[in-house]
Amino acid sequence: MNKRVYGVIGILSKMSNWNADFTGYPKTTSDGDTFGSDKALKYPMKKMWENQGEKILYIKSMKLSESKGTVSLVPRSLKERYEHLFNVEDLKDCKDSKEVLINLFNALDVKNFGATFAESKNNISITGAVQIGQGFNKYDGTNPEEQQILSPFRDGSKESADSEEAKNSTLGTKIVSNEAHYFYPFTINPMAYNEYKELGVTDGYTQEDYERFKQAALVSATSFATNSKVGCENEFALFVETEKDLYLPNLSEFIRFTKDEKNVIEINCDKLINSLKDRIKNVEIYYNPYTTIIKTNIEGAKKLNIFTQKEV
Would you call 147 exposed, middle or buried from its count of C-beta atoms within 10 A (0-12, 13-18, 19+)? exposed
Res. 195 pLDDT band, cuts 50 70 90: very high
Domain assignment present for residue 92? The answer is: no
* pLDDT tens digit sequence for 212-257: 999 999 999 998 866 657 889 999 999 999 999 999 999 999 999 9
Q: Please check the confidence at residue 71 and state whether its pLDDT lies above 80.
A: yes
Predicted local confidence at residue 160, as pLDDT: 56
Integer Rg of the chain from CA? 23
Predicted local confidence at residue 165, as pLDDT: 60
Instruction: Decide: 118 and 79 in contact? Cβ < 8 Å.
Output: no
Question: Strands, DSSP E only, in 83-231?
Answer: 114-119, 122-127, 130-132, 135-137, 144-154, 169-188
pTM for the whole structure: 0.92
Domain assignment present for residue 202? The answer is: yes
Among 170-184, 258-272, 291-305, whose mean pLDDT is lowest?
170-184
Q: What domain count does the chain have?
A: 1
Predicted local confidence at residue 162, as pLDDT: 60
* Whole-angstrom distance, CA of residue 216 vs CA of residue 208: 13
**What mean pLDDT is predicted for residues 128-137?**
98
Instruction: Decide: 240 and 8 in contact? Cβ < 8 Å.
Output: no
**What mean pLDDT is predicted for residues 177-197?**
97
Structural domain including 301 reads 4-55+128-147+176-305
Domain assignment present for residue 140? The answer is: yes
Domain assignment present for residue 91? The answer is: no
Res. 69 pLDDT band, cuts 50 70 90: confident
Q: Which residue has the higher pLDDT, 154 or 66?
A: 66
Per this entry, what is the length of the chain? 312
Res. 169 pLDDT band, cuts 50 70 90: low
Task: Give the Cα-Cα-Cα angle 20, 24, 27 (nearest 5 degrees).
Answer: 35
**Helix-helix angle 207-223:38-51, to 10 degrees:** 100
> Three-state SS for 249?
coil
Predicted local confidence at residue 114, as pLDDT: 97
Would you call 228 exposed, middle or buried from its count of C-beta atoms within 10 A (0-12, 13-18, 19+)? middle
- The count of other CB atoms within 10 Å of the CB of residue 298 is 22
Predicted local confidence at residue 172, as pLDDT: 79
Q: Please check the confidence at residue 166 and state whether its pLDDT lies above 70.
A: no
* pLDDT tens digit sequence for 77-98: 999 999 999 999 999 998 899 9
**What mean pLDDT is predicted for residues 116-130?**
92
